[in-house]
Amino acid sequence: MTAPKEKLVVVGNGMAGIGTLEQILKLTDRFDVTVFGSEPYPNYNRIQLSYVLEGSKKVEDIILNPLEWYEENGIELYIGTVVERIDTNRKVVLTEQGEAFHYDHLILATGSKPFILPIPGAELDGVVGFRDIQDCEKMREAARTVRKAAVIGGGLLGLEAAKGLVQLGMEVTVVHLMDKLMERQLDGRAARMLKEELERQGIAFMLETQTKELVGDTRVTGLKFADGHVLEAELVVMAVGIAPNIDIARKSGLMVNRGIVVDDVMRTSEPNIYAVGECCEHREICYGLVAPLFEQGGVLAKHLAGLNPEPYKGSTVSTKLKISGVDVFSAGQFIESEEHQVLTVQDDWKGTYKKVLLKDRKVVGAVLFGDVTDAMVLDKWVKNASEMTQDMYDSIFDGGTCCSGDKKAGLSVEAMDDSEIVCGCNGVTKGTIVEVIQANSFTTVEEIKKCTGATRSCGGCKPMVEQILAYVLGDEFEGGSAKETICACTDCTRDEVVEAIREKKLTHVKEVMIVLGWINPEGCSKCRPAINYYLGMVWPKEHEDELESRFVNERLHANIQKDGTFSVVPRMYGGVTTPGELKKIAEIAEKYEVPMVKVTGGQRIDLLGIKKEDLPSVWAELDMPSGAAYAKGLRTVKTCVGNRFCRFGTQDSIGMGITMEKKYEGLYMPAKFKMAVNGCPRNCAESSNKDLGIVGNDGGWEIYVGGNGGIKARIADLFCKVKSDEELLEICSAFIQYYRENGKYLERTSDWIERVGLETVQKAVIEDKAQRKALVERLEIAISRHRDPWQEAIHNGSLRMNLYEPIEVTLQS
């Protein structure tokens, strides 16, 4: 007869509690499990709340364990339920509603609470913390009407909150008591570089500033500081720190200090009651990062499964983060003293910084900024207190080869022990990943994630997981993801189509479909434009653009609106126009009774509501180039006034913007492409959210790539710095051509950079000068071969609507 299962109750439905439970379920089925969560959601990834705040992800995108997971594992889940206290004599937990639930074993994973400064005005409307989904919703709601926000606290949470609010279009000031940002993770130099980068992205800072009072009647209107100064703000985010949530433990008579006191198997002062995560205190230390929580959970899981684990001895804390698009890493000791040997290298041109601390020749700490390629190996050396050798030094600071001849052999997956942690957030080792790949014939990172949890939390380990996948699969590796065909009409991927076009010398859309055995012989509105683009990209001299394979917007050189009318946007190079052009636009707007004339975000004028039959006449009478507001190619080059007029300008942004717009207009690309040129780092032209952004400074130009201000917002990455206009144009041309040749059709540079990696593009465009030259040459060929029959028709008076009448009307996606 089967023994009845023991009752395991978990109070806390967050990453620590459910992470521990997941590990228990892998080891034993001896428990009947009940979980209580105070929020009305299943387990979600708190690390990614900043993405929910800025709007690039929805709540459902960060759910780690959906409701079905609880059902499949026989877990009784109570969401939106607060546990009030524990009756340790009767072994029951009591909810706020007065319900009692029996336990044999109890795990407290109540996490932490945001620390709210005990100052006057903290209770006002418009004052929020940043700890859960509800906080994000409050901030997003406020952003609809509020323009000025302040974030109190310059740690990780504060900077992430500031990033999200800036993305929502708010003016944000971070107020920090200390003299540097992230003082618990970064040294002075890295903190200074971080501050300078975030200022470039539009965040203002007030360091060494103490908030004494929040002012306002019912809603906050500002912050009053110790010196009497007042900062205007209608939204205040408290991000000054967290405090372990020990309320239940204290009410229930458990031993508490700063956190719930636990021993080396995570047991509290009461037998059969355990605590993990941010709520507990082990050897007088409370941890606020994810990795230690899973280490604690691993020990507790083995203990409850009766496996006599090695005791938990504490965690060596390391932090690898991307803050507002900036990579930072620290591990162990990062503030040097007289007992340390300090190894550093700083490259202000590339914006990178690297420091390693030695004590008695052993690695005891490290800081990385801008380039965290070496983070994993440094983390390993710090945890193992590895003694520094010449080979190790060369692999980190010289970028040289180790004794084996392999580039950075310390980072090689082949050289890693099976016991080494790959995913610190979920405690997944290399050996575990290799085992599940071999046992289940996995071929994708997604399959590994679902099975092991690796990459599921912060995602920082994804490149290493993919390397392990490639290492195990060898020649069978296809890039770590399921085969992605260009549409349902074919089994071919983008790369297979392009390769066939090259190898088989295919030159027409229909020919590609026939040769590659298209399932739908006519194709669709998704694959026909894609094939047409790939043909033009591969054969710029030979291919004649097939207009019937273009979207209706591109055929008519205007954007179709929801009522069937069109908008016409003439080109204004760099946002510069003339009185004559303005007069012409005004006369046409009156003649054709244009319902709305609007200045666009790209510094142009949009004539909205034009009838389809009037398009030929409107364009002919405008006699201006199309602004290509519909194009899979260059849309605009936004500029500030630069040094021609602005007292802060250091470069001629208008002149450079016009030069670039004229050079690249009409060039087809995988997706729409937006540019901006700033004359100084104040970013008035918003280079930080463009596909290609240029920022002038006293020493030359900075180039930023992969930005996006749309639905999936992304801050552009610093690509490189150049000193001359000639080098600027050369690198921009090479970048554009590399994107043209390697991007998927309709894939924005923001997604492309994330997919292929910034370093891959930098290597091809910046480091490999021979390849850069070849890319520029191919781009010049494409530019020289561009002809626009529509523009020609305007000039010779032959423009007719039937020139672009579609075979099948396909609305632009």
β-pair type (92-95, 280-282): unpaired
The pLDDT value recorded for residue 322 is 63
Instruction: Using DSSP, state whether 140 is helix, strand or coil.
Output: helix
The yes-or-no verdict on residue 189 having pLDDT over 90 is yes
Q: Is residue 149 part of a domain?
A: yes
For 228-282, the pLDDT digits (tens) are 999 999 999 999 989 999 999 999 999 999 999 999 999 999 999 999 999 999 9
- What is the spatial distance between Cα 533 and Cα 539, in angstroms, rounded to a whole number? 10
Q: Is residue 131 part of a domain?
A: yes
How many domains does the chain divide into?
A: 4
Does residue 573 sit in the same domain as residue 700?
Answer: yes
The yes-or-no verdict on residue 560 having pLDDT over 50 is yes
For 612-649, the pLDDT digits (tens) are 888 888 888 888 888 888 888 999 999 999 988 888 88
State the residue for tokens 């923001």.
750
**Domain final residue pick, 240, 255, 271:** 240
The pLDDT value recorded for residue 177 is 95
Q: Is residue 696 part of a domain?
A: yes
SS (H, E, C) 443-455: CCHHHHHHHHCCC
Beta carbons within 8 Å of 235's beta carbon, 6+ residues apart? 126, 128, 139, 142, 143, 146, 148, 149, 150, 165, 170, 220
The yes-or-no verdict on residue 165 having pLDDT over 60 is yes
Does residue 523 sit in the same domain as residue 672?
Answer: no
State the residue for tokens 């890493």.
329
Does residue 21 sit in the same domain as residue 162?
Answer: no
The pLDDT value recorded for residue 801 is 43
Q: Kindly tell me the sign of the dihedral angle through the C-alpha atoms of 101, 106, 111, 115.
A: positive
- What is the spatial distance between Cα 562 and Cα 788, in angstroms, rounded to a whole number? 27
Q: Quick check: 236 and 125 in contact, CB under 8 A?
A: no
For 196-224, the pLDDT digits (tens) are 989 988 899 999 999 999 999 999 999 99
Beta carbons within 8 Å of 576's beta carbon, 6+ residues apart? 639, 654, 658
- In order of 532, 536, 806, the CA distances from 810 in angstroms are 15, 21, 8
**DSSP secondary structure code for residue 397 in this structure:** I
Confidence of residue 402 (pLDDT cuts 50, 70, 90): very low
Comparing CA positions, the residue from 105, 109, 104 lying closest to residue 83 is 109
The pLDDT value recorded for residue 544 is 81
pTM score of the predicted model = 0.60
Beta carbons within 8 Å of 487's beta carbon, 6+ residues apart? 524, 526, 527, 530
**Domain final residue pick, 280, 304, 328:** 304
Does residue 146 sit in the same domain as residue 60?
Answer: no
Does residue 739 sit in the same domain as residue 704?
Answer: yes
The yes-or-no verdict on residue 323 having pLDDT over 70 is no
Does residue 643 sit in the same domain as residue 749?
Answer: yes
Q: Quick check: 266 and 275 in contact, CB under 8 A?
A: yes
Query: Hey, what are 20's tokens?
Result: 């521990």
Q: Quick check: 714 and 689 in contact, CB under 8 A?
A: yes
Query: Hey, what are 371's tokens?
Result: 């380039």
The pLDDT value recorded for residue 656 is 94
Does residue 687 sit in the same domain as residue 767?
Answer: yes
Q: Is residue 413 part of a domain?
A: no
Query: Which CATH number does the domain housing residue 265 bear?
Result: 3.50.50.60
State the residue for tokens 């040459």.
777
615 HSE (CA, 13 A, CB side): 31
Does residue 179 sit in the same domain as residue 32?
Answer: no
The yes-or-no verdict on residue 302 having pLDDT over 60 is yes
The yes-or-no verdict on residue 350 having pLDDT over 90 is no
For 458-495, the pLDDT digits (tens) are 666 777 888 888 888 887 776 544 457 787 778 888 88
Q: Is residue 312 part of a domain?
A: no
| 578-583 CB contacts, 8 Å cutoff, 24+ apart | 581/624
Query: Hey, what are 522's tokens?
Result: 């006519």
For 670-699, the pLDDT digits (tens) are 999 999 999 998 888 889 999 999 999 888
Q: Is residue 472 part of a domain?
A: no
Q: Quick check: 462 and 444 in contact, CB under 8 A?
A: no
Does residue 164 sit in the same domain as residue 72?
Answer: no
Domain that holds residue 231: 127-240
Q: Quick check: 352 and 346 in contact, CB under 8 A?
A: yes
- What is the spatial distance between Cα 278 and Cα 361, in angstroms, rounded to a whole number? 34
State the residue for tokens 């364990």.
65
Does residue 526 sit in the same domain as residue 626?
Answer: no
Q: Quick check: 335 and 320 in contact, CB under 8 A?
A: no
Query: Hey, what are 289's tokens?
Result: 């990062």
The yes-or-no verdict on residue 410 having pLDDT over 90 is no
The yes-or-no verdict on residue 660 having pLDDT over 90 is yes
